[in-house]
């Protein structure tokens, strides 16, 4: 198969329409079979639930080429389940795991020429999403829905690779109110745009959000969970019902325990403890792990001991192990890698 003429190693994290996408429709209480289409434009009612009342949720996962030329997805069943959880909270009809995985397989196979080659540092980013497409004007769930799964080749999320970033503690809450912090939905991202633009203007790459009720405990950033390494080499990650349950984080916990023999703790992390950690990282599908070098709060700047020049040794080891598993250079735990072709 002829690959597209793209300079894979210079790709950033941006959208590029590929040849095919999967679309399914929900009407009269059920989903149709869905199909691949070529049109990258969505045609829906001007009064669609997604446009009027933000009734939509999404997922994000990556597809890689392995050394032997196979094309694989990392734990897509977890994304399928999480999208069902998000949908339920938004009164959006659930997409079955079967349809989700079938859409993934079909879109990746149809766009195989767009999957970046092994060793390029790039991957095929998959964005599944579901939205109210039918008209509503009184506040109510939409009468019709669409599920779409699109693919776009991407490079690293943060330009400059794995350089440590400066972040700051935000005065804002990350998520919309009503306890929706654990769902992956545009409404939460819409609410995070003002704080992130402000943070960027003031020289920070990300916001650290604290718990909305007491502003005492670490939650997460706009789109990534925190992982902390203690001075004695333990992995600590915040436990909270109002953060997005990151699949990367759940994978890192298992990798740290089973591959690296580390002790791990998932528990509330008071912000007052942050200055004690040796290394701090952000984790998520887009960036995998990116290191944090400094955190500014109202009392001043906390300099993370691992510094501003490079990722600390423990996070580096975890990152190498996890990306090794994702790329099939290392043996994966049962069920973590879905071979698509």
Ligand X SMILES: *Cc1c(COP(=O)(O)O)cnc(C)c1O
- Count of other CB atoms within 10 angstroms of residue 330: 14
CB-nearer residue toward ligand X: 120 or 285: 285
Q: Specify the DSSP class assigned to residue 187.
A: H
How many residues belong to the site for ligand X (CB under 6 A)? 13
Q: Using CB under 6 A, pick the residue from 208, 244, 255, 292 that binds ligand X.
A: 244
Residue (of 3, 41, 40) closest to 18 by Cα position? 40
3-state helix, strand, coil in the chain (%, to 5): 25, 30, 45
Query: Sign of torsion, CA 228 232 234 236?
Result: negative
Positions 159 through 188 that interact with ligand X (CB under 6 A): 184
Site for ligand X in 247-266 (CB under 6 A): 247-249
**For residue 276, what is the DSSP state?**
G
Phi-psi group of 319: left, alpha or beta (phi > 0 → left; psi -120 to 50 → alpha; rest → beta): alpha
**Which residue, 162 or 224, is less far from ligand X as judged by CB?**
224
Per DSSP, helices labelled H in 33-129 are 49-53, 76-89, 97-110
Q: If we measure between CA atoms, which residue out of 57, 14, 300 comes closest to residue 175?
A: 57
Q: Which is nearer to ligand X, 144 or 219 (CB)?
A: 219
Name, in order, each residue with C-beta under 8 angstroms of 98's C-beta and a sequence gap of 6 or more. none
CB of 248 to ligand X, least distance (A): 3
Task: Tell the smallest beta-carbon distance from residue 323 to ligand X (Å).
Answer: 13
C-alpha to C-alpha distance for 11 and 9, rounded to whole angstroms: 6
Q: Which of 195, 223, 291, 293 binds ligand X (CB under 6 A)?
A: 223
Return the structure tokens found at 15.
């959208």
9 SS3 class: helix
Residue closer to ligand X (CB basis): 185 or 304: 185
Among the listed ranges 9-17, 219-227, 307-315, 318-326, the one in contact with ligand X (CB under 6 A) is 219-227
Task: For the CB of residue 215, give the shortest distance to ligand X in the complex, in Å.
Answer: 18
Question: Of 80, 156, 89, nearest to 125 (Cα)?
Answer: 156
- The token pair at 9 is 């190693």
Quick note: the x/- pattern for ligand X over 53-92, rule CB under 6 A, is -------x--------------------------------
Nearest approach, Cβ of residue 69 and ligand X (Å): 26
Q: Which stretch binds ligand X (CB under 6 A): 109-117, 206-214, 246-254, 299-307?
A: 246-254
List the one residue from 65, 180, 225, 306 that touches ligand X (CB under 6 A): 225
Q: Which is nearer to ligand X, 148 or 184 (CB)?
A: 184
Report the residue number, 284 or 291, with the smaller CB distance to ligand X. Answer: 284
**Nearest-CA neighbor of 322 among 271, 244, 248?**
248
195 binds ligand X (CB under 6 A): no
Binding residues for ligand X, per CB under 6 A?
Answer: 60, 184, 220, 223-225, 244, 246-249, 284-285
């Amino acid at each position: 198969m002829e690959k597209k003429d793209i300079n894979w190693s210079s790709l950033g994290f941006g959208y590029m329409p590929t040849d095919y996408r999967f679309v399914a429709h929900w009407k009269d209480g059920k989903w149709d079979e869905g199909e691949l289409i070529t049109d990258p434009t969505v045609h829906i009612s001007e009064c669609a639930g997604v446009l009027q009342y933000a009734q939509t949720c999404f997922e994000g996962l990556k597809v890689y080429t392995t050394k032997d030329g196979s094309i694989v997805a990392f734990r897509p069943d977890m994304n399928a389940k999480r999208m069902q959880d998000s949908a339920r909270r938004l009164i959006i009809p659930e997409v079955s795991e079967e349809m989700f995985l079938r859409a993934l397989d079909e879109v990746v196979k149809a766009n195989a020429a767009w999957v970046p080659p092994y060793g390029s540092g790039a991957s095929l980013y998959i964005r599944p999403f579901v939205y109210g497409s039918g008209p509503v004007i009184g506040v109510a769930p939409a009468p019709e829905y669409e599920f779409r799964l699109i693919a776009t080749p991407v490079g690293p999320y943060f330009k400059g690779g794995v350089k440590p970033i400066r972040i700051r503690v935000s005065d804002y809450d990350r998520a919309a109110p009503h306890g929706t912090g654990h769902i992956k939905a545009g409404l939460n991202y819409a609410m995070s745009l003002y704080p992130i633009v402000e943070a960027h203007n003031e020289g920070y790459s990300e916001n650290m959000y604290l718990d909305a009720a007491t502003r005492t405990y670490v939650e997460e950033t706009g789109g990534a969970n925190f992982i902390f390494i203690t001075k004695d080499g333990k992995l600590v990650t915040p436990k909270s019902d109002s953060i997005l349950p990151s699949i990367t984080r759940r994978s890192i916990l298992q990798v740290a325990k089973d591959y690296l023999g580390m002790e791990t703790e998932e528990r509330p992390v008071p912000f007052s403890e942050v200055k004690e950690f040796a290394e701090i990282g952000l984790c998520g599908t887009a960036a995998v792990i990116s290191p944090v070098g400094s955190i500014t709060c109202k009392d001043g700047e906390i300099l993370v001991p691992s510094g501003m020049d490079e990722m600390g040794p423990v996070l580096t080891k975890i990152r190498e192990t996890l990306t090794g598993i994702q790329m099939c250079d290392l043996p994966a735990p049962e069920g973590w890698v879905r071979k698509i072709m």
